[in-house]
Amino acid sequence: VVAKVLLGLGGNLGDPALTISSALTRLEQFGLRITRRSALYSTPPWGVADQPGFINACALAETKLSPRAVLAAALTVETELGRVREVRWGPRTIDIDILAYDDVTLDEPDLALPHPRLTERAFVLLPLAEVAPDHLIAGRTVRAWADLADARGIERLARAG
């Protein structure tokens, strides 16, 4: 059985555009087939304001891995790419979030699906609307959530990187 996984990627230390590309390549080696990839977005920091701006992107993947196996792969790739866990919502080289896994709902301390703060975050919704506009989250399409989002300060960059 193949599941569709929605991934959010972001970073604000080092060369986030390059790190996001490397992360996607590495995830493929762990058994996620990346079928769509959004443009890169330059986004103002959310949560902790006093830190560099972020680069964010989203991807759509197909996989036979379970949600927990996808999480394990994401955490491994984050560590490989130099992520050090310090401040919540603080600076990082790479963050890989599982935004949704098919229509699975899960509420565990280390894995909640769909991602609970997804619908409040324009830095996720804008790129996600490029790769999964019709996916339903809490009764609305991603496209509808993105249209409601506060996109101030967010800039869509070229796809390459």
> What residues line the site for Mg ion (CB under 5 A)?
95, 97
- Minimum CB–partner distance for residue 106 and ligand PH2 (Å): 18
- Minimum CB–partner distance for residue 54 and ligand PH2 (Å): 4
Q: How many residues bind ligand PH2 (CB under 6 A)?
A: 11
Q: Residue 31: which of ligand PH2, Mg ion, none does it interact with, CB under 5 to 8 A by kind?
A: none
- Minimum CB–partner distance for residue 112 and Mg ion (Å): 11
- Asked if the peptide bond before residue 114 counts as cis, ω within 30 degrees of 0, the response is yes
Residue 145: Cβ-neighbour burial (10 angstroms; 0-12, 13-18, 19+): buried
Is 153 a binder of ligand PH2 (CB under 6 A)? no
Number of residues written out for the chain: 161
Count of beta carbons in the 10 Å neighbourhood of residue 148: 13
Which residue's entry shows tokens 């972001």? 10
How many Å apart are CA 47 and CA 89, to the nearest integer? 6
Which residue's entry shows tokens 């800039």? 155
Q: What does the per-residue mask of binding to ligand PH2 show for 80-119, with x meaning CB under 6 A? A: ---------x-----x------------------------
Instruction: Tell me whether residue 97 is one of the annotated catalytic residues.
Output: yes
- Structure letter (DSSP) for residue 77: H
Name the segment binding ligand PH2 (CB under 6 A); options: 15-23, 39-47, 106-114, 137-145. 39-47
Is 41 a binder of ligand PH2 (CB under 6 A)? no
Q: Say if residues 46 and 98 touch (Cβ distance below 8 Å).
A: no
Token digits of residue 130: 């490029």
Q: Interface residues with ligand PH2 (CB under 6 A)?
A: 10, 43-47, 54, 56, 89, 95, 123
